[in-house]
Structure 1
Amino acid sequence: MIKITLPDGSLREYDQPLSVHEVAASIGPGLANAAVAGRVDGALVDCEFMIKANARVSIVTPQEPDGLEILRRSCSLMLAMAVKQLHSHAQMRTGSVLGDGFFCEFAVERPLTSTDLPLIEARMQSLAATNHSIRRRDTPSPSLHPEHLSVYRLGDSEYLTTGPHVPTTKVLQAFALDHISGTLQQRIYGTCWSSHQELQQWRLPPHVMVVSIDESQASYAQSVTETLRRTGVRALADLRHEKVGYKIRQHSQTVPYLVVIGEKEQAGGFVSVRSRSGEDFGRMKVEVACEWLRQPGNGHV
C-alpha cells in the first residue's frame, strides 16, 4: 500500500505504484488536464514519474511560477522542433527559459530573418494542435550527462535539457515569437503564458522597460521587473543578448522610462532610471524606484 499525502494534509492510499498524472486524475479530471509536473517530497518531476513509496505529493499547474517556467522550457523545445522542420540545415545549440519567455540558439548555414518568425510560429501552433508527447528517456549512463540535464524526446528528435517538461504540446497554447538576432549563430526569442488573456496583457505597451547590460544580470533584472509589476507599474524586461546601446535606442522610441541594470546596480541592489528623452535620474534602490515610478506622470498605469 502506497500512502500519498496531499498539500492540504489529506491522505490517499493506492494499492500499487502510480504516476504523478494518475495521482492528479484520482483527485479530479480538471486537475489531471491542468497538470504540467509534480512535486514529490519537494522535488520537481515529470507527470510520468512513478511513485513507488510513501510520499508527499503536489500537482504543479501553470498557475504557479514553477509551472509557468515549465511551460516556457517546453516551448523552447517546440521552437527547436519547428525550426528543424522548416530549416533542416539549422542545428540547435541551446535553449532556455529567459524572463517572461524562452529562447533557442541555432547554428545556421543561411541566416534567418524576422520575416521567418511568423512561419515558425505558425508551425509551432500546428505542433501544439497535433499534441506531441514530450518524454524523458532513461539512458544507460546518465552520469555522463551534465548535472541537472536529461534526454527528452519530442517528435523524432532528442534533446539534452533541464526538466521537467510538460507531458504533451497541447498544453502550450499562449505563446508568441518576437525577436531574432545574430547571423550564423542565431537566437530566436519568444514569450509563453498560461492563457491567451495573460499573453494579451503582456503585449500591452509598457510604461517601464528594464534593460540588462549583459546576461549575467538577467535574473536580477527579471526580479526587478516583477517587483515593479507588484507595485502597479506596467513593466517589461529586455534580457536579450544584444548590445545595451541597441536596446536603449530601440525602446527610447516608444517607452516612457528605462531602468538600466549592470554589474554595479546588481551588486548594490540598485537600478538606474532614465526617461525616453535621455534625462538621467540616477541610481535608486529598487523600492525607491518603484515608489517614484508609481507617482502620477512617472509611468504609473
Structure 2
Amino acid sequence: MIHITLPDGSIREFPGPVTVAEVAASIGSGLAKAALAGKINDTVVDTSYQITADSPLAIITAKDAEGLDVIRHSTAHLLAYAVKELFPEAQVTIGPVIENGFFYDFSYKRPFTPEDLLAIEKKMTALAAKDEPVTRRVLPRDEAVAYFKGIGENYKAEIIASIPANEDVSLYREGAFEDLCRGPHVPSTGKLKHFKLMKLAGAYWRGDHNNEMLQRVYGTAWATKDELQNYLTQLEEAEKRDHRKLGRELDLFHIDDHAPGLVFWHPKGWTVWQGVEQYMRKVYQDNGYQEVKGPQVIDKTLWEKTGHWDKYRENMFTTESEKREYALKPMNCPGHILIFKQGIKSYRDLPLRFGEFGQCHRNEPSGGLHGIMRVRGFTQDDGHIFCTEDQIQAECVAFTTLLQKVYKDFGFTEIIYKLATRPEKRIGSEESWDKAENALMAGLRASGCDFQISAGEGAFYGPKIEYTLKDAIGREWQCGTMQVDPNMPERLDAEYVGEDGARHRPVMLHRAIVGSLERFIGILIEQHAGALPTWLAPVQVSILNITESQDAYCREIAKLLQNQGLRVQLDLRNEKITRKIREHSMQKLPYILVVGDKEKEAGSVAVRARGNIDLGVMSLQDFQSKIASDITLKL
C-alpha cells in the first residue's frame, strides 16, 4: 500500500503506484479538473508524475502561487509552439517565467513585427482551444543533442550539450511541438486561457554581445480573465503615471546623454526635491538625530577595511591623485563610523543618531538605468544609530512609528513589513542573532505591525526589517529599512566606554525611510499621477487675469499669498481666459484663481481646484485659510 498524506493531515491509501492526477480524482471531480500540478515536499511535479512511495502531497491549482508559475511556464511553451507553426524556420532558444509573465527568445531571419505579434497570439489561442495533452519523456543527454540537431534546433542542442554527459534530460510535447524543459507543465493546453503578448525586444544569445541578436517576445498570463484584465488596466494606468513622461510634461527634470544615470533638476523639480529634503530634515530634528555631512571622495583603504572594495569594486567610481587611489562613496555608513570615533563615547551618549542627506554614486549598468528611479548618482536620507543590543527594540519601535507617519504624510497608507532573518552563511554567535532577531520582532509587534518572515534573507552580519509601501495602483516599492550591523563597527574599531569602565563595541543600525530621494520622488510622481499634494506641489497657486484692468489687483494677491509662504505663479498674458485655464490645469496645479472685474471690485477670487472643480467665489481670507489648512493636513 502507498499512503498519501494531504495538507489537512488526512491520509489516502492506494494499492500501488499512483499519479498526482489519480490522487486528485480520488478527492473529487472538481479538484481533478482544476489540478495543474502536485507538490511533494518542496518539489512541484506534473499531474502525470507517478508516486511510488509514501509521500506528502498538495494538489496545485490556479489559486496557488506555484500554479500561476506553471501556467506562465506552459504559456511560454505555447508561444514557442505558435511561432514554429507560423514561422517554421525560426529556432527556439529559452523561455523562462518572469515577474507577471514570461518571455521566449527566437532566432529568425527577419525582425518580428507588431502584426506578427497579433498573429502569434491568435495562433496561441487556437492551439490552446485544441486542448492537446502535454506529455513528458526523458532522453540521455547525447541522444537529446542528436534529436534537436536532427530537427534543426541548434540552440537547444547547444544548451543540452552543456549539461554533464551522465545526466538525462526531459522533453515536453504538445501536438507537433516538442521542447527541452525541466517542467512541470499543465496537463493540457486547454488550461491556458488568459494570456496576452506584450512587446518585442532584442536579446543577445546567452547575454553575450558577441553572439547573435535574438528576438525576445514578452507575454503575460493569469489564472482568470479578471486577473488578466486588472493587470492590463494597471499597466495602462502605470503608463499614464510614468514619472519620465510626467517629468517632461511638468518640466521637473531631465536625463541627458552627457551624464547618463544622473539627473538635471529643473526649477520646479528642485522645488519638489527641497520639499522632500526639508520635510525629512525636520523629521531628523524632531526625533533626536544629529545631521552630519561626510566627504564624497574617500581613500580606497577605508573601503578595503569595510570589505566594499572586494565585493563592490566594479560598481564604484574611482579616481587618483598624487599616487593615491580614491572612490566616490557608494554609501554613507563608513563615514558615519569615522565621525562616531572622533572623541571618546560613553554609554551615556547612546543611542547616538546620525542623519545625512548623503550623495552616493554607483556605477550601475546602463541597461538597468530607469529615469530617476534607477540612477548612478543619488542622495539618501541615510541615518545610523549607534546603540547597545538592549536598545535595539526601543529604537525599532520609535523608527517604525516615525516611518508610518512619514509615509502617511506623503500619501501612502498601506505598508508591508518583512523581517529578513539569518542566512546560512553568517558571522556572529547564535546568541547575538537571537537577540537581534527577537528585538526586531518585538519592536514590530509593539508597533502593532503584522509582518512576514523572509527566512535566510538577512545580511551575513545581521537581520533587517524591510518596509514596503503600496501605491495607488497596487504596485509595491521597498523603500524603508532597519538593519542590525555589529560587523562594520568591528571592522572599523568603533568603541564606547561602558558603565563598567571597559570598552565595548556598539551595534550600528542602518535605517532609511525614503531611501534614495531621486527614486522616492519618482514614486511620488507616479503615486499622485503628477498631481502632487498642495504642500509639496512646485506651484501651489496660479493667478489668472481676464483683462488688463485686473493686473494690479492680481499682483496684490500674488504678493499677499507669497508673504503667506505660498509658491505662486502669475499669468497676466493677453490670452483668452479659457486657454489660460486649460494650460494651467494641464500642469496639475492645486488651485487656479481667476480674477475679473467683479472679483476685483469685491476683493475676492474665483477658485478652481485641481480636476477642473469650480469652488466658486471666495474672499481672499477664506482662500488663504483653505490652502493653509490643506498644507497643515498634508493634503
Q: Could you state the TM-score of these two structures normalised by the residue count of structure 2?
A: 0.36
- Which of 198, 202, 209 matches 1:178? 198
- Which of 456, 467, 472 matches 1:233? 472
Q: Tell me the distance in 1 between the aligned counterparts of 2:44 and 2:107.
A: 31
**Matched residue pairs, number?**
255
Q: Deviations over 1:213-254 (max 9, x none)?
A: 757x9xxx9xxxx979983532569xxxxxxxxxxxxxxxxx
Query: Counterpart amino acid of 1:94?
Result: I
**Secondary structure of the corresponding residue to residue 68 of structure 2:** helix
Indicate yes or no: 2:187 matched with 1:167: yes
Match of 1:247 in 2: none
| 1:41 Cα deviation from its structure 2 partner | 2.5
Match of 2:36 in 1: 36
Query: Counterpart amino acid of 1:234?
Result: I
| 1:151 Cα deviation from its structure 2 partner | 1.7
| 1:32 Cα deviation from its structure 2 partner | 1.1
Q: Tell me the distance in 2 between the aligned counterparts of 1:171 and 1:18.
A: 22
Is the Cα–Cα contact under 8 Å of residues 40 and 57 in structure 1 kept in the other structure? yes
Q: Tell me the distance in 2 between the aligned counterparts of 1:177 and 1:230.
A: 29
Query: Counterpart amino acid of 2:214?
Result: Q
Q: Deviations over 1:49-97 (max 9, x none)?
A: 0011110000011111111011000000000000110011211111111
Q: Tell me the distance in 2 between the aligned counterparts of 1:76 and 1:125.
A: 13
Is the Cα–Cα contact under 8 Å of residues 133 and 187 in structure 2 kept in the other structure? yes
Q: Tell me the distance in 1 between the aligned counterparts of 2:3 and 2:61.
A: 22
Query: Counterpart amino acid of 1:158?
Result: E
| 1:167 Cα deviation from its structure 2 partner | 0.9
Is the Cα–Cα contact under 8 Å of residues 270 and 283 in structure 1 kept in the other structure? no
Indicate yes or no: 2:135 matched with 1:135: yes
**Secondary structure of the corresponding residue to residue 172 of structure 2:** strand
Q: Tell me the distance in 2 between the aligned counterparts of 1:14 and 1:34.
A: 21
Q: Tell me the distance in 2 between the aligned counterparts of 1:295 and 1:111.
A: 35
Match of 2:561 in 1: none
Alpha-carbon spacing, 1:95–1:270, altered in 2? closer, same or farther (3 Å): farther
Is the Cα–Cα contact under 8 Å of residues 469 and 478 in structure 2 kept in the other structure? no
Query: Counterpart amino acid of 2:187?
Result: P
Alpha-carbon spacing, 1:85–1:195, altered in 2? closer, same or farther (3 Å): same
| 1:162 Cα deviation from its structure 2 partner | 3.3
Q: Which 5+ residue runs of structure 2 have no aligned equivalent?
A: 145-159, 204-212, 245-364, 375-414, 417-466, 480-509, 534-635
Match of 2:226 in 1: 197
Match of 1:154 in 2: 174
Alpha-carbon spacing, 1:271–1:24, altered in 2? closer, same or farther (3 Å): farther
**Secondary structure of the corresponding residue to residue 162 of structure 1:** coil
Query: Counterpart amino acid of 1:189?
Result: Y
Q: Tell me the distance in 1 between the aligned counterparts of 2:469 and 2:25.
A: 34
- Percent identity between matched residues is 37
Which one has a bigger Cα radius of gyration?
2
Match of 2:237 in 1: 206
Alpha-carbon spacing, 1:21–1:35, altered in 2? closer, same or farther (3 Å): same
Query: Counterpart amino acid of 1:196?
Result: K
Alpha-carbon spacing, 1:229–1:298, altered in 2? closer, same or farther (3 Å): farther
- Which of 187, 197, 207 matches 2:216? 187
Is the Cα–Cα contact under 8 Å of residues 272 and 282 in structure 1 kept in the other structure? no
Q: Could you state the TM-score of these two structures normalised by the residue count of structure 1?
A: 0.72
Match of 1:114 in 2: 114
Q: Tell me the distance in 1 between the aligned counterparts of 2:242 and 2:512.
A: 15
Query: Counterpart amino acid of 1:206?
Result: E
Is the Cα–Cα contact under 8 Å of residues 172 and 180 in structure 2 kept in the other structure? yes
| 1:293 Cα deviation from its structure 2 partner | 4.1
Give runs of aligned pairs for residues 1-301 of structure 1, distance below 5 A: 1-141=1-141, 145=163, 150-182=170-202, 185-204=214-233, 205-207=236-238, 214=367, 231=470, 233-234=472-473, 281-284=517-520, 293=527
Query: Counterpart amino acid of 2:66?
Result: D
| 1:14 Cα deviation from its structure 2 partner | 0.9
Q: Tell me the distance in 1 between the aligned counterparts of 2:54 and 2:511.
A: 43
Q: Tell me the distance in 1 between the aligned counterparts of 2:512 and 2:77.
A: 35
Farther-moved stretch of structure 1 (117-126 vs 183-192): 183-192
Alpha-carbon spacing, 1:60–1:229, altered in 2? closer, same or farther (3 Å): farther
Alpha-carbon spacing, 1:295–1:174, altered in 2? closer, same or farther (3 Å): closer
**Secondary structure of the corresponding residue to residue 282 of structure 1:** helix
Alpha-carbon spacing, 1:136–1:200, altered in 2? closer, same or farther (3 Å): same
Alpha-carbon spacing, 1:62–1:179, altered in 2? closer, same or farther (3 Å): same
Query: Counterpart amino acid of 1:167?
Result: P
Is the Cα–Cα contact under 8 Å of residues 61 and 67 in structure 1 kept in the other structure? yes
Is the Cα–Cα contact under 8 Å of residues 140 and 168 in structure 2 kept in the other structure? no
Query: Counterpart amino acid of 1:168?
Result: S
| 1:40 Cα deviation from its structure 2 partner | 1.3
Is the Cα–Cα contact under 8 Å of residues 128 and 192 in structure 2 kept in the other structure? yes
Is the Cα–Cα contact under 8 Å of residues 209 and 235 in structure 1 kept in the other structure? no
Is the Cα–Cα contact under 8 Å of residues 149 and 163 in structure 1 kept in the other structure? no
Is the Cα–Cα contact under 8 Å of residues 38 and 57 in structure 2 kept in the other structure? yes
Q: Which 5+ residue runs of structure 1 have no aligned equivalent?
A: 238-258, 262-267, 274-279
Query: Counterpart amino acid of 2:67?
Result: G
